[in-house]
Amino acid sequence: MPRLAIVVLLCATSGTALAAETPSVAIDEAIASAKAAGKPLVLEFWTTWCEPCKTFVRDVLPDGGVQERLNGVTFVRYDAEAEPGLAAATKYRVNSYPTFLAVDGEGKERLRNSGSNSPAEFIRFLDDSTAVARDEAAVKAELAGPSGKDAAVRMRAARWYLDRDRAHDALAHLDAVAASTHADAGKAAANAAQIRRVDAWQRQLTDEKVALARKYPASEPSTLLLATVDSGLPQRDVDAIFGAAFAAAKTADQLNDLLYVALAAGATSQALAAAKRAMELAPHDPNVLDTVAEVYAATGDRVEALRIEDEAIADAKDKILLQALRADRDRYEKGGESPNILGQHKVVRDVRARLEKIERPDDEHSMNEAMAAAQQAAVAFHGALRKIGMESAKACATHAGKLDTVSVRLRLPKAPGPAQAITVLDPEASAALRTCLTGVLRKATFPAPMAHGPERHILDVPLGMK
């Protein structure tokens, strides 16, 4: 088991600061170690120049209540500007300090907080982290325990399931909280009402599409998709719908468009019969043959899937199509799920997700999405520059002299690539340092400027990093 972080309490009672050793473990190892220990992973991202980070170490970490809560999690501190912290900060798009994350056993971020300048605030964060980043076994164990009927416990369970898009598993817990005097009773009732309303809308949508598919067998594939894929319709009814739809199809292209939907809906026998008919109608169409091969692969006949895919490859003339066909053949040989079939399920999930967001005003939703996208772009842009600066510092540190940092002005390309101009600004930089930095930076691939951002940027190269 790799060493994660060692917290050494020098003398809490006399006010001596608590020292924490920066881990040498990569983020993937930290995730695996926390999962093996059965504890949520809590990450702190700090920098050497961050004053609030120093306040956290001095005033928050030594607190007795904080230390007690830390026993229930795997706590890892990362310097965000030095590896392996730089990679971890890039992975989770961290660009302010200190930032604290709660990460589950699969490495997914479940909670984020910036600041935590008081013990009480950080304790609340640790308690919330334990609630949202634990595994389902821990949730069920708490529910089965002596306090399992408490409203606070039921609310934590509801939040856990809602955070994982398992609304129906959350519903009974939300109802229990709504019937209590808990402070979140109103919020629980609203969440439960929304789940039931979305269910009603989904049933209405599915019933409408099923009625259309039955009355008009030649319906659009999108109608059949929402009527049959992950809709809860009995399989015999799904099979009947596709039997009629394939019978109404007159051309190989029409059959081809329906085959992936049928596979996603589990109508494999109907899909196999339709695939054979499509191959008879278009025996040398590589697109049709590729889909037919997918049907055989889905039914477990790998030999026939490979044979038909080889026919498609032999008939294909377009280079891009050939590349796609060979990738499919490789997947049939090695085994693996079809991205086209997975895509059908994703379309249905996206429709349902839009139903869940119907209460949110469009302008607010769009604004929030735009802000999130802009923030992610900024984090990626500055993270890429910071990484180039760190790599340049390592390459040229022997020429630093007395300089801890040197500033370089860059004119960035319009698309990712080499810088169009590089100027070392510090007058005290030696000729050897200027030559080294210029040479290293000329070989770097820089990100394009952000939308509406300046093309000239100042890059600080931290020569004095340890």
**The pLDDT value given to residue 130:** 85
CA atoms within 13 A on the CB side of 221: 16
**The pLDDT value given to residue 143:** 93
* CA dist., res. 429 & res. 397, Å (int): 12
Sheet of 41-46, strand order: 74-79, 41-46, 99-103, 109-114
Sequence-separated (6 or more) residues with CB below 8 Å from residue 166: none
**The pLDDT value given to residue 192:** 94
**The pLDDT value given to residue 452:** 56
**364 φ, ψ to 5°?**
-70, -40
Nearest C-alpha neighbor of 279 from the set 290, 263, 269, 264 = 290
Neighbours of 175 (CB within 10 A): 16
Residue 75 corresponds to which tokens in the numbers above? 């706590």
The overall average pLDDT reported for the chain is: 85
Q: For residues 125 and 101, is the Cβ–Cβ distance under 8 A?
A: no
**416 φ, ψ to 5°?**
-50, 130
What burial letters (b/e) apply to 295-317, b meaning 16+ CB within 10 Å?
Answer: bbbbbebeebbeebbebbbebbe
Q: In a 10 Å sphere around its CB, with 0-12 CB exposed, 13-18 middle and 19+ buried, how is residue 373 labelled?
A: exposed
118-121 contacts at long range (C-beta below 8 A, 24 or more positions apart): 118/59, 118/60, 119/59, 119/60, 119/63, 119/65, 119/66, 120/65
457: Cα separation from own chain's centroid: 30
* CA dist., res. 318 & res. 173, Å (int): 56
Give, to the nearest 10 degrees, the angle between helix 235-248 and helix 221-228: 170
* CA dist., res. 156 & res. 141, Å (int): 13
Nearest C-alpha neighbor of 459 from the set 400, 373, 391 = 391
The whole-number mean pLDDT for each consecutive block of 10 residues of the chain, a chain of 466 residues, reads 35 33 75 89 92 91 92 92 90 90 92 83 89 88 92 92 89 95 92 91 93 94 93 94 94 91 93 92 91 91 93 90 90 86 89 76 50 69 86 89 87 86 88 92 86 72 74
Nearest C-alpha neighbor of 391 from the set 440, 434, 352 = 440
386: Cα separation from own chain's centroid: 23
Sequence-separated (6 or more) residues with CB below 8 Å from residue 80: 45, 46, 47, 86, 88, 89, 94, 97
**The pLDDT value given to residue 32:** 92
| Cα distance between the two ends of the chain | 26
Neighbours of 190 (CB within 10 A): 14
Please report which helix (H) or strand (E) contains residue 42, including its range.
Answer: strand 41-46
Q: Please state whether the predicted TM-score (pTM) of the whole model is above 0.85.
A: no
Interstrand relation of 406-411 and 421-424 (parallel, antiparallel or unpaired): antiparallel
Q: For residues 352 and 203, is the Cβ–Cβ distance under 8 A?
A: no
Sequence-separated (6 or more) residues with CB below 8 Å from residue 120: 65
Q: For residues 98 and 59, is the Cβ–Cβ distance under 8 A?
A: no
Four-point Cα dihedral 351, 357, 363, 368, nearest 10: -100
Neighbours of 356 (CB within 10 A): 16
**301 φ, ψ to 5°?**
-95, 80
**The pLDDT value given to residue 127:** 87
**The pLDDT value given to residue 349:** 87
* CA dist., res. 134 & res. 160, Å (int): 9
Sequence-separated (6 or more) residues with CB below 8 Å from residue 346: none
Tens digits of residue pLDDT in 323-368: 889 999 999 988 888 888 888 999 988 888 888 777 654 444 454 5
Residue 287 corresponds to which tokens in the numbers above? 């697109």
Please report which helix (H) or strand (E) contains residue 112, including its range.
Answer: strand 109-114
**The pLDDT value given to residue 373:** 64
Helical spans, DSSP H, in 97-229: 119-133, 136-144, 151-163, 167-178, 185-215, 221-228
Sequence-separated (6 or more) residues with CB below 8 Å from residue 316: 286, 322, 325
